[in-house]
Amino acid sequence: MYDKASIALIPSGYKSSELYSVLPANGDGDFEHIRTSTATRVNKDGLIESVAIDTPRLDYPLNNGVVGDCPHLLLEPQRENILLYSEDISNSAWTTFASGETIVSNSVVSPNGTQTADTLEGDGSATSVYVRQNITLNTSVDYTFSVFAKKGTNNFIALSAEGFTGVTNTLVFFDLDNGTVTSGTADIEDYGNGWFRCSYKVTIGTDGTGRFLVFAAYNGTTRAFPSTSEASGQNIYLWGAQAEQGSYKTSYIHTPTNATETRSADICNDAGTSAEFNDSEGVLFAEIASFVSSGTSRRIAISDGDFTDRIEILYGAATNRIDYQVISNNVFQAGGFHTVTDVTDFNKVAVKYKQDDFALWINGVEVSTDDNGNTPTGLNTLRFEDGGGGNDFYGKCKQLIVFNEALSDSELQTLTS
């Protein structure tokens, strides 16, 4: 079946500003990739590494700390880490509770494979073991806090946002032994070698300055503050603290100095020429995952490059819903949608288009049909956006394939299974 494909992106080869497609062999299906900053990914060894400006990120999945065999293309929006000295909690940008705490810099190997992670330890003369940093946040905007943590003599950590007016989700707890959230609404991700990325979202009621805290917690539910005797020798390892405006965490952004750092958005577009597309019939197939279950519109489209004619696969505002639509001469022709179990998991999605014969297939099942409508004309480009410069796709992609004929039901079932 893949021999019927006119463009096939299975992320593997790249260079600066270019992501190679497997088909066509002449390079006409390659994507232009733009990102005006460096960024990070998880490499084939399971380590976080920096990637140069404009270079596509082939990110390897981690499953319970074990790195997967095949990477996916990682496309993210612009984000800024507003926590300073993200890998150095001994810096004066961070403060501790009292003199009863010790920070040992560069004491253990971090998730990037270098000995840059720090130890936070209590000596028993103080009733708390934590580090904190003051930050200013804006009203009614979501922020996500995260930090990489590894258990030492202590199994638990807690994260907190304090001092803000009207803040929600102020204190959450994590078990670094079992890799679980033990109290509050939060997320924990296993990065291997005992490291977990712990994160949670807050919303601030009023503009103002408060603080982000990381505790070596005494237990996993209620006690971020141990007694002085309990704090003696209590320690955890920390690295890669991040605070970013948004409802979910993104890839790690290093802040090495007394300044915030911004990762620019990934833009990946303009694969193909008119020779790779058939206006009369075809299939657009993608194996993709979202970062969140709902949110702003994020699209992948075959188009005429001018938003007038296009075929789109999209995530929209509805929770766990995958949509498609076909537009010809700026007029809606066909469309449909289906709610899946979880759009943050990888789903295989195919849109078949042909005069008065349109269908949406997801994970081996035909989930929506439309038997009335015209096909677009002038198709000449494949983009991770709506075809006209908006609604950029942010998420993960394992495959993106264009077929120049309307595949049979049995072929579509096989393709999406």
Q: Are residues 72 and 118 in the same domain?
A: no
Q: Shortest CA distance to 99 belongs to which of 118, 133, 122?
A: 122
- pLDDT score, position 170: 80
Q: Shortest CA distance to 23 belongs to which of 11, 37, 43, 5?
A: 5
Q: Are residues 112 and 201 in the same domain?
A: yes
Domain boundary among 263, 288, 316: 263
Q: Are residues 207 and 237 in the same domain?
A: yes
Q: Are residues 228 and 284 in the same domain?
A: no
Domain boundary among 204, 230, 263: 263
Tokens 């803000």 map to which residue? 164
Tokens 């709902």 map to which residue? 294
Cα of 348 vs its chain's centroid, Å: 18
Could you tell me which residues come within 8 angstroms of residue 292 by beta carbon, excluding any fewer than 6 positions away?
247, 248, 344
Q: Are residues 88 and 65 in the same domain?
A: no
Q: Are residues 322 and 362 in the same domain?
A: yes
Q: Shortest CA distance to 167 belongs to which of 147, 140, 145, 136?
A: 140
Q: How many domains does the chain have?
A: 2
Q: What is the mean pLDDT of each run of 10 residues along the chain (417 residues)?
A: 93 97 97 98 98 98 94 98 97 84 94 97 76 91 96 92 81 95 95 97 86 85 58 85 96 96 98 97 98 94 96 95 97 98 98 98 98 98 96 98 97 98
The whole-model pTM stands at 0.95
- The CATH number assigned to the domain holding 109 equals 2.60.120.260
Could you tell me which residues come within 8 angstroms of residue 218 by beta carbon, excluding any fewer than 6 positions away?
154, 156, 224, 225, 226, 230, 231, 234
Domain boundary among 263, 297, 327: 263
- pLDDT score, position 125: 67
Q: Are residues 289 and 403 in the same domain?
A: yes
- The CATH number assigned to the domain holding 382 equals 2.60.120.200
The two three-digit tokens of residue 8, written as one number: 């096939």
Q: Are residues 341 and 410 in the same domain?
A: yes
Residue 4 φ then ψ, to 5°:
-90, -5
- pLDDT score, position 194: 97
Q: Are residues 151 and 177 in the same domain?
A: yes
Q: Are residues 95 and 160 in the same domain?
A: yes
- Domain that includes residue 85, residue range: 81-263
Q: Are residues 285 and 146 in the same domain?
A: no
End-to-end CA distance of the chain: 13
Q: Are residues 120 and 173 in the same domain?
A: yes
